[in-house]
Amino acid sequence: MAHQLAYAQHVAIMQTLMRKHQRYVPVILTYDTKTVKWSVNEQMLLASLLQCVRSKFEVSSSHALFLLTKGGNTINMSDTMKDVHARYKSDDGVLYMTCMVENVFGG
């Protein structure tokens, strides 16, 4: 019961934030053991978000970054955040993503 109440409150908060900031997409991104919450402009390209992630987590250029949706889907880097959010948002309206890192160039 308490979990359902907490989830209902979470959904209500997310809906309020999305109404207040209609041109922004709520994103929760997990990288390694870290989780960040962002409100991203809906016209931002996924490639731009990837650069923000690289900078935020100080990922070396010798590593390739991949963003996956909650369902494990890879996403086209030329998609806008609005398009990605429309396709992959969760029931609570939040876009949950995971960042995967792979070594490249023998790194």
pLDDT digit string, tens, across residues 57-97: 888 888 888 899 888 888 899 999 999 999 999 888 889 99
- The structure's pTM equals 0.80
| CATH code of domain 2-103 | 3.10.20.90
Contacts of 32 (CB under 8 A, 6+ apart): 57
Q: What is the pLDDT of residues 32-61, one digit of tens each?
A: 888 888 889 999 999 999 998 888 888 888
Q: What's the pLDDT score for residue 44?
A: 95
Between CA 17 and CA 8 the distance in angstroms is 14
Between CA 97 and CA 102 the distance in angstroms is 16
Q: Taking 60 as the threshold, does the pLDDT of residue 1 lie above it?
A: no
Reading the block at residue 3, the tokens are 């979990």
Q: What's the pLDDT score for residue 82?
A: 95
Reading the block at residue 41, the tokens are 């402009």
Contacts of 107 (CB under 8 A, 6+ apart): 60, 62, 63
Q: Match 């309206």 to its residue by tokens.
A: 93
Task: Give the single-character DSSP code of 92.
Answer: T
Nearest to 74 by CA among 103, 54, 98, 51: 98
